[in-house]
Amino acid sequence: MLNIYICEDELNQREALVKSVDKAIKEEELRFTVVCDTDNPYKILELVRKDDNECIFFLDIDLGQEMNGIELSSELRKIKPRCFIIFVTTHSEMSYLTFNYRVEAMDFIIKDNYRDMDSRVKNCLLNCDCLSNQNPEDDEKTFSVKLGDKIKMVPVDNILYFEVSEASRKILLHGENCEIEFAGNMKDVESKLDEQFYRCHRSFIINKEKISSVDYNKNQVILSNGSECPMSIRLKSGLRYFEKKSV
């Protein structure tokens, strides 16, 4: 059983969202229940603290309150680390704040596109249903990438390295089967990664588990797919663990 909470300050939009959620639940015969729809973020927090079930949250960003939807989502994530958060908003330009607050949003649904609302809500609920049936021990660590008004979740174990694109000054994520360009800076990227990653150069962050060898003469790190990443003299000391693999 998953409990659904909706926080939206505009009554007509909240009613439309509840209608979309109820429609998806009935059509897909999902074991979900809308337990609260409100304009009050503090009411959501109060109820969730007493809720022992897994939860799904549909949140507006601008709630017309002292606490906005992103701040609310950050508090909810502390209470329910494995909860599902979907933003329904007109403020897609504020989605970058989810990175600052380290909130992993499943989706951003833009209110202006009402024709797309039902299908987007249904897809989110189906994804929640699928993910909730997974064993927590099987959960993959992911890295969130903002692409327009959407958030793409990339499995950490599929990431080879990050680099700064000299042409666009954006960040390039190089994966085992993908390459994604996104706006950002290396300092922010580094802050979202754990010890599995190492910044070997001011323009490169590598996945240490993907290192094939280290060439200390050429100051290069060779990864499992053959990619060669530069290694600065100042930062190469952090890779001495791999000295036995060096070329």
Tens digit of each residue's pLDDT (9 = 90 or more) over 131-166: 887 655 555 688 888 877 677 888 899 999 999 998
Phi-psi region of 47 (alpha: psi -120 to 50; beta: other; left: phi over 0): alpha
pLDDT at 245: 46
- Please tell me whether residue 37 adopts helix, strand or coil conformation: strand
Q: Where in the chain is the domain with CATH 2.40.50.1020?
A: 155-245
Overall pTM > 0.75 = no
Q: Where in the chain is the domain with CATH 3.40.50.2300?
A: 2-138
Q: How far apart are CA 184 and CA 169, in angstroms?
A: 9
Q: How far apart are CA 104 and CA 152, in angstroms?
A: 10
Phi, psi of 21 (to 5 degrees): -65, -45
Low-confidence stretches of the chain (pLDDT beneath 50): 96, 99-101, 244-247
Q: How far apart are CA 247 and CA 243, in angstroms?
A: 9
Phi, psi of 220 (to 5 degrees): -135, 150
Report the topology of domain 155-245.
Answer: OB fold (Dihydrolipoamide Acetyltransferase, E2P) (2.40.50)
The CATH architecture to which 2-138 belongs is 3-Layer(aba) Sandwich (3.40)
pLDDT at 246: 46
User: What letter does residue 107 receive in the DSSP assignment?
Assistant: E
- DSSP string for residues in 68-91: -HHHHHHHHHHH-TT-EEEEEES-
Beta-carbon neighbour count of residue 124 at 10 Å?
21
For residue 156, give every residue at least 6 positions away whose Cβ sits within 8 Å of its Cβ, in sequence order, or none: 140, 141, 142, 143, 196, 207
pLDDT at 113: 65
Phi, psi of 226 (to 5 degrees): 95, -5
- The two three-digit tokens of residue 64, written as one number: 């017309």
Which has the closest alpha carbon to 205: 158, 156, 164?
Answer: 164
pLDDT at 247: 44
- The two three-digit tokens of residue 60, written as one number: 């507006």
